[in-house]
Structure 1
Amino acid sequence: MPDSEITRVGVVAHPRKPVRDSVEVLVSHAARHGVELVARETDAAQVGAGVAVVSDAAFAAGVDAIVSLGGDGTMLGALRLAVDRPVPVLGVNYGNVGFLVEITPAELAGALDRLQAGDFEVEPHSCVALAAGDAAVVAFNDVVVGGAEPGATVEVDLLVDGTQFGYYRCDALILSTPTGSTAYNYAAGGPVISPAAEVLAVTPVASMSGVSRSIVLPARDVVTLRGVAGSAPPMLRVDGNAWRPLEPATPLTATLRPDAAQVVRLDPGRHAQRSRVKLSLLDLPLRPEQMAELLPAEVREDLARLRKRRQLPAEPGFRDPLID
């Protein structure tokens, strides 16, 4: 339950998904409850005229809660916006799998009522705070040290609290939060970590020499990556976005910052069960549409009717009807 009343809600939208129906629900709810809706200039075209447009700084400093309309990527962007002043962030799933987002567009109206009433729980999430020289950034999923050119390998030394720990020669190196452990880290064979754990996973991808397994470090440890002299500078990617090359003369330091975000959970048990099912589905040797073809015809017809009633996308995928 929040400590203060929610009077100003920020809206973050996927740049291409058709989110206008959800925006209309938000506008209607805001009018009934005297809540101000605001969005950043980058989202103005997606949210339309019913939402006030403010600067990024005013958005981060002034909202009491954020509603993210998109998938996990959009949610990660919303969390980064609020990292210096964490507020509750509600995720509405317009993506495919979605481990962070909890509700469907059809559930938004009821979720907003519960948000306004304080009838929800907050799930804290950690981030990785990075510094390279005078540049700094945060990542809620992962930091990937990868080749700047196709086929290039990564060669870096790993130091923990200033002490040489080992070195890597691999296709890429992943620094993952517990949140990001089900993303690239998982695909690379790294551990799945509870969001409640305050640890940082370091996982190599296709290691050729040096450390070849994942290392899990506590939040108190300072991790330093130092490029090997004479090797090509790898590119740093933060939550999937290119950030900057890692120069040998400018080592990268990374620390885990606990409680850097507040994710709204309306039904934590149900969400956890869905996440476990989604994670198991990722290991199956079938695409979503191939899985749907295995269902009896009458079940597929029931699912089609359910999608229509709940206004879910018609295309097959790992959405609620397949896991409810």
Structure 2
Amino acid sequence: MNNSSGRPLLTLGLVVHPDRSVLDSVRVITRYARRVGAVVVAHGSDAERVGPEVVTVAPEEFAERVDVVISLGGDGTMLGAMRLVVGRDAPVLGVNHGHLGFLIEVSPSELEQALDRLTEGHYTLEPHSCLEAGDVTAFNDIVIASAEPLSSVTLDLEVNGLRHGYYRGDAVIACTPTGSTAYNYAAGGPVISPSAPAVALTPVAPMSGISRTVILGKDDHIVLRNPSQNVPLIFSVDGTPAHPLQPGADLSVRLRTDAVDIVRFDVGTHLQRNRVKLSLLDLPLRRDQLVELIPQPLREQAERLRQSQRPADWTR
């Protein structure tokens, strides 16, 4: 589809939260699209959730058409949007309709301004790596567990064709640097800088075998093998429904760098917000360090309020 000058129209693709109402943000986006002469598309399954002004298309057409993807939801919605455009020249802009939103910089109240900055080119692109395992892609993690509840998992580890021992415990997590602050962190694994092209393998409640996190590089070929002859395992990708890992089967995992770009308007603000969110997950910060996380204008406002509420003779 072209405009009157013959140039292709900008196509914005919407990926929306399955439950939360996002119509207010959809209206902001469709108003913006009318103003700049863009087209807004979404999956046909989301037709009732995005309203009549949004063109609905088949999933395979969606990935082919979009120039920018806008995710309206939380981190789960954002991860799903990122998986749709792996390896394509279509950055993802996240709008937080969820809870913590580690990946997401823009709130619904900031969306209109963010779209204007997008038009003006006042943004940067933040590349994200992913894990590829066969035909599945994970931006956070792949978690391998037993198919039977309350049962342990045994996995052999092979790296670059060499065997490196085995895991036995509740589960094994393979994660990207982005996913290192999720289940990996809860299981005692390290927080990895997004600038590090690395994969972390972390056992959950290890009973024997490898008991610590193993960090591997982007060029390492990782194989996690189910050594059993009769016990099936399962693995989940970014928390989505599980896939089977049959007895004797291998799960080959590789890190793909620069798989998707995320739109960033203010990297410093995003990092500051994430630092606050991480502090809520019990990172070891002192009280004075927590105070540093509060923006300076709010600190000054709080101090003025405290001074105004002191009794006139408080120094006596």
| TM-score normalised by structure 1 residue count | 0.83
Query: Given that residues 157 and 225 in structure 2 are in contact (C-alpha distance below 8 angstroms), is that contact kept between their aligned partners in structure 1?
Result: yes
Give secondary structure in 1 for the equivalent of 2:196. Answer: coil
Task: Specify which of 86, 89, 94 is matched with residue 91 of structure 1.
Answer: 94
| Residue of structure 1 aligned with 2:12, choices 5, 9, 12 | 9
Residue 169 of structure 1: how far off its partner (Å) = 0.2
For 1:242 and 1:12, locate their aligned partners in 2 and report how far apart those are by CA, in whole Å. Answer: 19
- Specify the SS of the correspondent of 2:24: helix
Shift of 1:50: 1.1
**Are the aligned partners of 1:124 and 1:196 in contact in 2 as well (CA < 8 Å)?**
no
* 28-37 or 186-195: bigger deviation: 186-195
Distance 1:197 1:284, change over 3 A: closer
The residue number in structure 2 matching 1:46 is 49
Unaligned runs of 5+ in 2: 1-6, 285-297, 302-316
1:149 to partner: Cα distance: 1.9
CA deviation digits over 1:113-132, x for unaligned, max 9?
1112221011100000002x
Deviation at 1:6, TM superposition (A): 7.4
* Offset from partner CA, 1:54-112 (integer Å, 9 cap, x none): 11111101111011000000000000000131411110011111110111100000000
- Aligned match of 1:139: 138
Q: Which residue of 1 aligns with 2:248?
A: 249
Amino acid at match of 1:78: A
Amino acid paired to 2:209: G
- More off after superposition, 52-61 vs 244-253: 244-253
For the 8 Å contact 1:6–1:65, the answer to whether it is kept is no
1:258 aligns with 2:249: no
Q: Quick one: structure 1 residues 226 and 271, their matched pair in 2 at CA, closer, same or farther if it must change by over 3 Å?
A: same
Amino acid at match of 2:223: T
Q: Do 1:177 and 1:201's aligned partners in 2 also have CA atoms closer than 8 Å?
A: yes
Q: Aligned to 1:58, what secondary structure does the other structure show? A: helix
Q: How does 1:209-288 map to 2 (within 5 A)?
A: 209-230=208-229, 232-283=231-282
Do structure 1's residue 185 and structure 2's residue 184 form an aligned pair?
yes
Report what 1:26 is aligned to.
Answer: 29
8 Å CA contact 2:172, 2:204 repeated in 1: yes
Give the distance between the partners of 1:56 and 1:253, measured in 2 at CA.
26
Deviation of the 1:172 alpha carbon: 0.5
Distance, in Å, in 2 between the alignment partners of 1:113 and 1:5 is 19
Q: 1:20 to 1:114 in 2, by over 3 A?
A: same
Instruction: Indicate the SS of the match to 2:148.
Output: coil
Pair 1:65 & 2:68 matched: yes
TM-score between both structures, scaled by the size of structure 2: 0.85
Point out the structure with max Rg over C-alpha. 2
CA contact 2:229–2:248 (8 Å) conserved in 1: no
Indicate if the aligned counterparts of 2:231 and 2:247 stay in contact, CA closer than 8 A.
no
Q: For the Cα contact (< 8 Å) 2:102–2:274, is it kept in 1?
A: yes
Q: Aligned equivalents of 2:181 and 2:283: distance in 1?
A: 15
Which among 36, 52, 69 is matched to residue 39 of structure 2? 36
Give secondary structure in 2 for the equivalent of 1:282. coil
Contact 1:72–1:99, Cα closer than 8 Å, also in 2: yes
Distance 1:5 1:138 in 2: 30
Note if contact 1:6-1:64 (Cα within 8 Å) is conserved in structure 2. Answer: no
2-structure distance, mates of 1:29, 1:55: 23
Q: Are the aligned partners of 2:233 and 2:247 in contact in 1 as well (CA < 8 Å)?
A: no
Unaligned runs of at least 5 residues, structure 1: 286-298, 303-324
CA contact (8 A) 1:185 1:191 kept: yes
